[in-house]
Amino acid sequence: SDRVVGAVARALRHADAVRRLEVRANADTPEDAARARRFGARGIGLCRTEHMFLGDRRKLVEEMILARTDAERRHALDALLPLQRSDFTGILEAMDGLPVTIRLLDPPLHEFLPDRTELAVRIAAAEARGERPDPHDAELLDAVGRMHEENPMLGLRGVRLGLVVPGLFPLQVRAVAEAVVERTRAGGDPRAEIMVPLVGDVTELRLVREEVARVLAEVAEESGVPVRCPVGTMIELPRAALTAGRIAEEAEFFSFGTNDLTQTTWGFSRDDVEAAFFSDYLDKGIFPASPFETIDRAGVGRLVGIAVAEGRATRPDLTIGVCGEHGGDPESVHFFHTAGLDYVSCSPFRVPVARLEAGRAALEGTDGSDSR
Ligand code: PEP
Ligand code: MG
200 touches ligand 1 (CB under 6 Å): no
- Nearest ligand (C-alpha, residue 107): 1
- To the question of whether residue 259 is assigned a binding role by annotation, the answer is yes
User: Rounded mean pLDDT of 245-252?
Assistant: 98
**Does 28 contact ligand 1 (Cβ within 6 A)?**
no
- Predicted pLDDT of residue 273: 65
**In angstroms, what is the span from residue 255 Cα to ligand 1's centroid?**
10
What percentage of the chain carries pLDDT values higher than 90?
67
Q: What is the structure's pLDDT at 75?
A: 94
Q: Is 239 helix (H, G, I), strand (E, B) or coil?
A: helix
Across the range 28-32, mean pLDDT stands at 96
Pocket-testing residue among 44, 47, 159, 260, ligand 1, by greatest number of atoms within 8 A of Cβ: 260
The pLDDT of residue 286 is above 60: no
Atom of ligand 1 nearest to the CA of 325: 3
Taking the centre of ligand 2 as the mean of its atom positions, its distance from the CA of residue 22, in whole angstroms, is 21
Please give the pLDDT value at position 57.
Answer: 87
* pLDDT number for residue 304: 94
Tell me whether residue 48 is annotated as binding: yes
Per-residue pLDDT at 314: 98
| Region of 224 on the Ramachandran plot (φ > 0 left; ψ -120 to 50 alpha; else beta) | left
Residues, CB-to-ion distance under 5 Å, ligand 2: 236, 257, 260
Q: What is the mean pLDDT of residues 91-119?
A: 92
Does residue 259 have its Cβ closer than 6 Å to ligand 1? yes
Which atom, in ligand 1's list, is nearest to the CA of 258? Answer: 3
176-232 pLDDT, tens digit per residue, is 999 999 999 999 999 999 999 999 999 999 999 999 999 999 999 999 999 999 999
* pLDDT attached to residue 353: 95
Q: Give the pLDDT of residue 199.
A: 98
Residue 26 annotated as lining a ligand binding site: no
Nearest atom of ligand 1 to the alpha carbon of 324: 3
- What average pLDDT score do residues 115-142 get? 91
Instruction: Report whether residue 323 contacts ligand 1, using a CB cutoff of 6 Å.
Output: yes
d(CA 265, CA 158): 18
30 touches ligand 1 (CB under 6 Å): no
Q: For the segment 350-361, what is each residue's pLDDT rounded down to a tens digit?
A: 999 999 999 999
Question: How high is the pLDDT of residue 139?
Answer: 86
Q: Whose CA is nearest to atom 10 of ligand 1?
A: 260
pTM score: 0.91
Predicted pLDDT at 99: 98
DSSP state of 254: E
Ligand nearest to the CA of residue 26, numbered in listed order: 1
Instruction: Tell me the Ramachandran region of residue 158: left when phi exceeds 0, alpha when psi lies from -120 to 50, beta otherwise.
Output: left
Q: Is 257 in the pocket of ligand 1 (CB under 6 A)?
A: yes
In short, whether 324's Cβ falls inside 6 Å of ligand 1 is: yes
Residue 278 has pLDDT above 60, yes or no: no
| pLDDT, mean over the chain | 90
Q: Which residues neighbour 134 within 8 Å (Cβ) at sequence distance 6 or greater?
A: 122, 123, 126
The residues carrying an active-site annotation are 323
Pocket test of ligand 1: the residue of 46, 157, 254 to mutate, having most ligand atoms within 8 Å of its CB, is 46
Q: Phi and psi at residue 249, in whole multiples of 5°?
A: -60, -25
Shortest-distance atom of ligand 1 to CA 257: 3
Instruction: Say whether pLDDT at 370 is over 60.
Output: no
Interatomic CA distance for residues 183 and 187, integer angstroms: 6
Does residue 109 carry a pLDDT above 60?
A: yes
Over residues 170-192, the pLDDT tens digits come to: 999 999 999 999 999 999 999 99
ipTM over 0.95: yes
Number of the ligand 1 atom closest to the C-alpha atom of 48 = 9
Average pLDDT on 24-37 reads 97
Three-state helix/strand/coil letters over the chain: CHHHHHHHHHHHHHHHHHCCCEEEEECCCHHHHHHHHHCCCCCEEEEEHHHHHCHHHHHHHHHHHHCCCHHHHHHHHHHHHHHHHHHHHHHHHHCCCCEEEEECCCCCHHHCCCCHHHHHHHHHHHHHCCCCCCHHHHHHHHHHHHHCCCCHHHCCCHHHHHHHCCCHHHHHHHHHHHHHHHHHHCCCCCEEEEEECCCCCHHHHHHHHHHHHHHHHHHHHHHCCCCCCCEEEEECCHHHHHCHHHHCCCCCEEEECHHHHHHHHHCCCHHHHCCHHHHHHHHCCCCCCCCCCCCCCCCHHHHHHHHHHHHHHHCCCCEEEECCHHHHCHHHHHHHHHCCCCEEEECHHHHHHHHHHHHHHHHHCCCCCCCC
